[in-house]
Amino acid sequence: MPSFEESLKKLETIVEKLEKGDLALEDSLKLFEEGVAASAACKKELDAAEGKVQMLVKQRDGSMKAEAFPAEKS
């Protein structure tokens, strides 16, 4: 599984290629599909990071019950 940084770089490259507008329709659609997948991977990583940050805030806040953040499955 690619890292967040790798997925983001791939997404940036795809956007640059699509913005040029010089690709055939089939190539553009393929790149768009790859971009959607890279975007989903980035969102998943960001959501996981947000969950970790929320757990840290809850623990330091003291007003909420501290909970263990579930370990990521590999």
Q: Is residue 68's pLDDT more than 70? A: no
pLDDT in tens, 5-34: 999 999 999 999 999 999 999 999 999 999
- pTM confidence score: 0.66
Residue 66 lies in a domain: no
Residue 70 lies in a domain: no
Residue 35 lies in a domain: yes
Total of domains in the chain: 1
Structure tokens at 12: 């940036």
Residue 28 lies in a domain: yes
pLDDT in tens, 28-52: 999 999 999 999 999 999 988 877 7
Residue 50 lies in a domain: yes
Instruction: Give dist(CA 55, CA 64) in Å, integer.
Output: 10
| CATH value at residue 13 | 1.10.287
20 by DSSP, 3-state: which?
Answer: helix
Residue 72 lies in a domain: no
Residue 73 lies in a domain: no
